[in-house]
Chains A and B, each alone.
Chain A
Amino acid sequence: MIEIRIHGRGGQGAVLAAELLVHAAFAEGKFGQAFPAFGGERRGAPVQAFVRLDKSPVRVRYRVYRPDYVVILDRTLPDMIDVLDGLRPDGVVLIDSARPPATLSWSADAPVYAIPATAIAMEVFGQPLVNPAMLGALAAITSEISLLSIQDAFQRRFPGSLGEKNGLAAQMGYDHVLKPDVLPVRVTRSPHVRGVGQASAPDAGLGAPGHPLHFGLVVAPRTSLAYPTGGWRYARPAVDADICNGCGLCVAFCPDSSLTIVEKQAIVDYMYCKGCGICSKVCSRGAIAMMSEEG
């Protein structure tokens, strides 16, 4: 049995990727399971999806704690959560990135394949739909599942031209890995920084030893300030100080209370800004531009 953990963000398609991977396995007469894990978080928040593939029926039903493969759909995720948690000693990592990451706060040494899935997706779809290229690359690396099965799974889910585009992106991800100069880079372990998305809260649930049972909870005001949602962002608003006159229109419309006016200038708090882009749209002077986080 091989176990795969896919890290993505809400709305990005990690859950779909897991499902299609298992559908591809079914088509090859294999067994498998796919299921996601996420909390009350919304679009943009880190999510995980789990996949198990085997030649015989998969009976276990728990999350994947010891993955053989970790697939990371968003390269900013390793700064937020320990994506390598529990990776097997011979485990392999695939990350959507133009080049192998040099410094990441990971808990293990690991061979890492950098797959330019966003670039491929922008070329094929004009949108950052990274799934097909990542799964195509996985097919090239694992030999557990064929590229053709993955392309068929996409085609069945998205009949017509969209399916074909997915198939093409999968092929491009596959081809990328087979290039002679593409080899996994061993990224060494570095101390993991407990950052965004990691609860600094009690690990034990209510009723656990030493933790009193409550039926009502009282917490201090504004504790969410310890939960920087800025990591959800795909694009960042950049205020042009020469154009902004501090009118405050953007402040009134910010869903995340992440804008303030200081000395007649709009200031964005990137710690919390989720990059929705409303401020850029409502600014009557065009002083706010949305810049890609991919840089």
Chain B
Amino acid sequence: MDKPAVDPYQKMMFAPGHRACPGCGASIAVRLVLEATGPDVIVVSPTGCLETFTSPYPYTPWGVPWLHVLFENAAAVASGVEAALRSRGSSDRVRVIVIGGDGGTYDIGLGALSGMFERGHDVLYVCYNNEAYMNTGVQRSSATPLGTATMTSPATGQAWGEDRPQKDLPAIAMAHQIPYVATASVAFPADLRRKVKQAMAIRGPKYVEVHSPCPIGWGYDAAETVELARLAVNTGLVPLYEAAAGQQLRVRKIQQRLPVTEYLRRQRRFHHLFADANGAHLVSIQSVADGNVNRWALEG
């Protein structure tokens, strides 16, 4: 195939040439988010994979203004950028979004995020959740699901990987009574774009989380990123919903629910769960999915 005559990258907000691993879920998430926000945004990113693979000087894939700040203060810096835009009278024209990973959001940046929420800044915070610290070589975060083997939650001896439940950060965001919280997945681009558009239509703090598989950290073939993201949703492990002011608005129903083993067995990080003695842990993880299905009424 010849290259198209028109330069397809002329106005692209997230250009190729970035250095994410092949099959990177976060890259898909970022492009889809920017397609929904349009070009009139300033993006702030904390430290993480996204920062590392988009910033080897002087190469940048960003087609919108982008700031890299510390792990812990992306939400605080975004608050400042938004306040500056307001004071310059350009907050109607230019909006502020944060795109960060689960390490910078669930763990290290949580205090600043809470502050941004409760001060009511007009910022959309997007967390691409790949469920561990991938940039530094797969260490567990508070977004790491039950049973996951990581470098710091290994499955050796009696240990069966992460043995604490995943932190429910969307619920923490909802508890701030902010006007919009949504969960999304790279497997459902139209749903993700709609949620980001919905968020951008609202003034005030918003939180959108995008479940983003990581081939390296999860241990699967790079081609299967979208399939795994879809399985996570269709097993009930990743509920997709929207909420406003602490109340559930709508959920994405699961057409045909699959057992969690369909999702787990395809990833190296869960292989230890399939050793005979560990059958009980699969039951624990299935009950997490069942709990999600009940809580969000994902079926029917």
Contact = CB atoms under 8 A, between A and B. Distances in A.
A40 B19 contact: yes
Counting contact residues on chain A (CB < 8 A from B), the size range is 35 or more
A69 to B, nearest CB: 29
A232 B4 contact: no
Given A232-B22, A262-B4, A219 B58 contact: yes
A222 B13 CA distance: 8
Interface stretch (B49-57, B259-267, B272-280, B291-299): B49-57
Interface stretch (B23-31, B70-78, B237-245): B23-31
B19 A277 contact: no
A198 to B, nearest CB: 12
B44 to A, nearest CB: 13
Contacts of B221: 277
Interface string A208-241: 0000000001011111111111001100000100
B160 interface: no
Interface string A239-254: 1000000000000111
B15 interface: yes
Among B16, B54, B63, find the residue whose CB has the most chain A CB atoms closer than 10 A. B16
Interface in B216-237: 216, 221-227
Interface in B187-226: 189, 215-216, 221-226
A256 B224 contact: no
Interface stretch (A57-65, A72-80, A181-189, A278-286): A278-286
Nearest to A260: B8
A207 interface: no
A267 B18 contact: no
A42 B20 contact: yes
Interface in B62-97: 62-64
Contacts of A229: 16-19
A41 B19 contact: yes
Given A222-B61, A253-B226, A43 B216 contact: yes
Contacts of A41: 19, 56
Interface residues of B, number: 48
Contacts of A282: 226
A39 B59 CA distance: 13
A277 B223 contact: yes
A255 B15 CA distance: 10
B153 interface: no
Contacts of A102: none
Contacts of B288: none
A223 B59 contact: yes
Nearest to A39: B56
A254 B15 contact: no
A281 B224 contact: yes
A144 interface: no
A278 B19 contact: no
A136 interface: no
B227 A281 contact: yes
A266 to B, nearest CB: 9
A276 interface: yes
Contact of B22 (A217, A220, A276): A276
A260 B23 CA distance: 17
Nearest to B39: A221
A158 to B, nearest CB: 16
A257 interface: yes
A224 B226 contact: no
Contacts of A268: 1
B16 A253 contact: no
Q: Which of B8, B221, B227 has the most CB of A within 10 A?
A: B8
A120 B85 CA distance: 61
B189 A225 contact: no
B16 A225 contact: yes
Contact of A201 (B8, B54, B55, B57): B57
B62 A222 contact: yes
Given A42-B20, A42-B21, A260-B4, A201 B58 contact: yes
Given A255-B20, A281-B224, A224 B59 contact: yes
Nearest to A282: B226
A91 B3 CA distance: 41
A23 interface: no
B28 A42 contact: no
Contacts of A256: 16, 18, 20, 22, 27
A50 interface: no
B14 interface: yes
Contact of A219 (B18, B21, B31, B60): B60
Contact of B225 (A220, A224, A278): A278
13 contacts: A42-B24, A217-B58, A223-B58, A223-B60, A267-B4, A271-B16, A272-B16, A274-B22, A276-B23, A277-B23, A277-B223, A278-B226, A281-B224
